[in-house]
Amino acid sequence: MKIKTIDLVQIALFAAIIAILSQISIPTPFGVPISLQTFAAALCGYFLGAKKGAAALLVWIAIGAVGVPVFTGFRGGFAVLLGLTGGFIYGFIPLVLLCGVELKHKPLRIALGAAGILACHLCGAVQYALLMGIDLLQSALTVSVPFLIKDMASIAAAYFAAIAIKAAAKRFSASN
C-alpha cells in the first residue's frame, strides 16, 4: 500500500492537534482530568476518516508511550497508559474509528460518535475500577457519568468543526 505525502502530513498534524488539545485540561480530585482530548480524537476521526484518524491517534499514543509529554498535564511514558487515565486513552481508538465511518446519511455519524464515547468511557471506567479496587458502577459514577454530557457535546462540536474545516480547505485548494 502506497501512502501519499498529504496523508502523512495530515496524520502528523492531527497527532500534534491531539497533543496540544490534551494540555487544555482541568485536574480533578480523583485523578482523571477534564480535557479537550475527546474533542480532538473525535475531530481526528471526523476529518481524517477511520484509517488515517486511527493512525494519527496511534502515533500520539506511541509518542506518549516513549516519554514525550503529550498526555494531559504534560505527562508521558508507558506508566500513563497503565495508570488511572490509560483506559480512556485506549478508549479513544474505538471513538476515532466510529467517528471516522463514512455514511451516506451524515447525521448518523454523530450517533456513531456517541457510541464511540460510550466505548471510550467503558474502557476508562474499567481500568479505573481495576486500579482503584472499586466496582465498575462506582467507577462509572466517578469518572464517566458526570462527563457524558460534556463529551457528547464534544462529539457534536467536532463533527461540525470537521465539516467547516473541510469546506475551508476545499475553498483554499480551489483558489490556489
Enumerate the β-bridge partners of residue 35. Answer: 25
Q: What is the pTM of this model?
A: 0.93
pLDDT average, residue stretch 146-173: 94
Q: What is the pLDDT of residue 25?
A: 93
- Measured CA to CA, the distance from residue 86 to residue 10 in angstroms comes to 25
pLDDT at 176 over 90: no
pLDDT at 1 over 70: no
- CA-to-CA separations, 145 to 83, 97, 126, 163, in angstroms, rounded: 20, 22, 13, 28
pLDDT average, residue stretch 112-141: 98
Q: Using alpha carbons, select from 21, 41, 29 the residue that is nearest to residue 123.
A: 41
Strands annotated E in 8-138: 25-26, 34-35
- As to burial, measured by CB atoms within 10 angstroms (0-12 exposed, 13-18 middle, 19+ buried), residue 5 is exposed
pLDDT in tens, 55-103: 999 999 999 999 999 999 999 999 999 999 999 999 999 999 999 998 8
48 close to 14: Cβ distance less than 8 angstroms: yes
pLDDT average, residue stretch 24-29: 92
141 pLDDT band, cuts 50/70/90, is: very high
Q: Please report, rounded to a whole number, the percentage of residues in the chain having pLDDT higher than 70.
A: 99
